[in-house]
Amino acid sequence: MRGDQRPSLRLDSTRLTRIVWIAAALAATALALPAVTWQALNLDENITLTLAPGSVASIVDNVWSARGGGPAHFLVEHVTLAWPGGLWGLRLPSLIFFLLALPAAGLVARELFGRREELIVVAALALAPTAIKYATDGQPPTLLLAVFLWSLWASLRAARLGGRGRWALAGLALGFLVFVQPVAPLYAGLALATGVLHAHGGARRVAREAWPAVLLLALAITPFVVHSVDVLRARYDLEGDIGAPRTRVGDTVIHAAFESLAPGIVGFALLALAGVGLVTLLAERPRTGLALAAIVAAPIAFFDSVPEVVRSVFFFDRYMLPALPVFLLLAAVGCDRVARVGGRGLLPLAAVAGVLLVAELIPDVASLRRMHELELPRVTSAVSAEPATVLFGSTGTTAQAGARGALTRWQPPELVDTYVDLSRGSELEVVDESTCAGVKGFLAERAARPRRGVWLFYESAPPLAEAAAGRLAAVPGVTADVIGGHYVLVRSVLASDPRDLVRLGLHVRRAWRRHAPEDGSGVRMLAADREGLDSGWNCLLPEGLLAQALSLRVR
């Protein structure tokens, strides 16, 4: 339902709309694209790398049947990891889906309000810190965002124009959401309800025309309810006691959710504008205000009701991503109302909207600076500087979340070798030292040509990295250099056969253990090297049992 027919300095110009859309897409690309190569891998991306290369049948079985999730994103990654492959194949699909979401957000704003709100929402979503954070992440959130916004637009368009065909199309799009992410049914129901609330012609016409959308959505959700809810209940132990709502970092769900919508101190500007917009809509267009408020509030209420036993692993800021453009739409309405104090022209509106955009841009720039300080591309170049190089398992200590240039516990140092492998492809050999089976496989190579070994260690602070480099450099036969203030790169001086490289690695890892005895992953890798050089009978033991059995023997 279009509620904005206000004249304003050619804001209704199609050319201006296209300029803003293009500028928003370029800005989003500029802010998000560096993370493809600058950002460390996280555990969820590692899951994607594990599941997506399998067959289509195995993806559906593992993701839908065993995990209770949506397979759509993994099927896309199945294709892109084959080509173009590497980091680009892993992360580029998310950026494409994010760029596709921008025009959808604008069309939703135009259906509900008009051009002024459309332009603000498109620009604000393009710079939104949480959206930029996931725009190059090898996970489903931006696919969920794009499908949700296009489905919501289809629902609103069907509400304005009517017709069973349009409602059926909206129902198909909403039903597809179920196959993207487990949280999708909640957003699908909210999008359909928003369309129904804005439908013309009264309840009888809505019931006569909108039933195909309700039916198709129900047909899509029913298999999820029948199967996935039981899988997720068992997976997350949803029978736990209800307690104080907490997230993985100890915040309340409400605090974490609004931090994802308006992060940082400057986020108060967004919250204030959204508050003004919500109050305005509740006073002037209560159905629209209630519908938009429900899209923002419902997921918060849902996650706030999850048992405490699973909150530490269940709530993530990415689950609020579909609500983000709706929150920004409320802020856009607030911008318009605050700007009216200075007149109805373009200049006051541009000034207020500029405050919103600057409030979003500050965390974006800070995030880029932190990623750049890690210097991961430089680490990759240094690792593969020499031909015939073997990278052994990376490890290290994890810094506090938010520290400058730091990895978090969701980006473990053990995944650095996976990052380097994706960056270099077939040019580099990587040895998995999570168990001794990987070491045994390396030692069993028939073509045991001499090669140089490389070991990577991550330290949470530059002074600690310098201290580690000094200790590691004392190991005979290696050099140690600090890269990016956090990474210690250890190289073997001479090319050696596989067995001698593993023996040299034992000395390197012992020196690292003396520096960082709290690094449990380093202890496990040391144990794997020792057992790989032995007979290897206990490689058949489960990994957890193997690590426990060997931890007492490692000196």
Q: Average pLDDT per run of 10 along the chain, which is 555 residues long? A: 47 80 97 97 95 96 86 97 96 98 97 94 97 97 98 97 96 94 92 95 90 95 79 59 50 88 85 96 96 96 71 74 98 94 82 92 94 94 88 87 74 94 84 89 81 95 95 97 95 94 96 95 93 67 41 34
Same domain, residue pair 167 and 281: yes
pLDDT of the residue at 249:
55
Same domain, residue pair 78 and 142: yes
Of 371, 395, 421, the position where a domain reaches its end is 371
Closest to 119 measured CA to CA, from 272, 264, 10, 268: 10
415, 41 Cβ separation under 8 angstroms = yes
Closest to 414 measured CA to CA, from 389, 397, 439: 397
- Alpha-carbon distance 43 to 410, whole Å? 6
State the DSSP code for 220. H
Residue 70 lies in a domain: yes
Of 344, 371, 398, the position where a domain reaches its end is 371
Residue 206 lies in a domain: yes
Closest to 141 measured CA to CA, from 252, 58, 260, 37: 260
> 362 exposed, middle or buried (CB, 10 Å; 0-12, 13-18, 19+)?
middle
> At 481, phi and psi to the nearest 5?
-135, 145
Distances (CA, A) of 14 to 18, 112, 114: 6, 18, 12
- Alpha-carbon distance 225 to 189, whole Å? 13
Residue 130 lies in a domain: yes
pLDDT of the residue at 250:
61
Closest to 269 measured CA to CA, from 334, 346, 336: 334
Residue 84 lies in a domain: yes
- Alpha-carbon distance 51 to 47, whole Å? 6
Same domain, residue pair 421 and 318: no
β-pairing, 395-396 with 452-458?
A: parallel
Same domain, residue pair 178 and 313: yes
- Alpha-carbon distance 224 to 247, whole Å? 25
394, 417 Cβ separation under 8 angstroms = yes
- Alpha-carbon distance 245 to 193, whole Å? 28
Same domain, residue pair 58 and 178: yes
Cβ count within 10 A of residue 537: 9
Residue 253 lies in a domain: no
Residue 119 lies in a domain: yes
The number of domains in the chain is 2
Cβ-proximal residues to 102 (8 Å cutoff; 6+ apart), any chain: 21, 24, 25, 28, 122, 125, 126
Same domain, residue pair 279 and 341: yes
303, 318 Cβ separation under 8 angstroms = no
Same domain, residue pair 319 and 393: no
Cβ-proximal residues to 533 (8 Å cutoff; 6+ apart), any chain: 439, 443, 499, 502, 503, 506
Same domain, residue pair 381 and 305: no
Q: Which domain holds residue 463?
A: 375-551
Model pTM score: 0.91
- Alpha-carbon distance 90 to 72, whole Å? 14
Same domain, residue pair 139 and 187: yes
What SS3 class is residue 496?
strand
Distances (CA, A) of 492 to 255, 381, 383, 476, 480: 49, 16, 11, 9, 9
Cis? peptide before 71, omega within 30° of 0 = no
Widest CA span in the chain: 84
State the DSSP code for 65. I
| Amino acid of residue 81 | L
Same domain, residue pair 213 and 65: yes
pLDDT of the residue at 408:
85
What SS3 class is residue 324?
helix
Same domain, residue pair 468 and 349: no
- Alpha-carbon distance 384 to 365, whole Å? 30
Of 329, 350, 371, the position where a domain reaches its end is 371
pLDDT of the residue at 282:
97
| CA angle (530 as vertex; 416, 511 as ends), nearest 5 | 60
Tokens of 555: 């000196």
Residue 246 lies in a domain: no
Tokens of 339: 């700007």
What is the three-state SS of 448-487?
Answer: CCCEEEEEEEECCCHHHHHHHHHHHHCCCCEEEEEECCCE
| CA angle (523 as vertex; 476, 44 as ends), nearest 5 | 120
198, 156 Cβ separation under 8 angstroms = yes
Residue 2 lies in a domain: no
End-to-end CA distance of the chain: 71
Same domain, residue pair 348 and 380: no
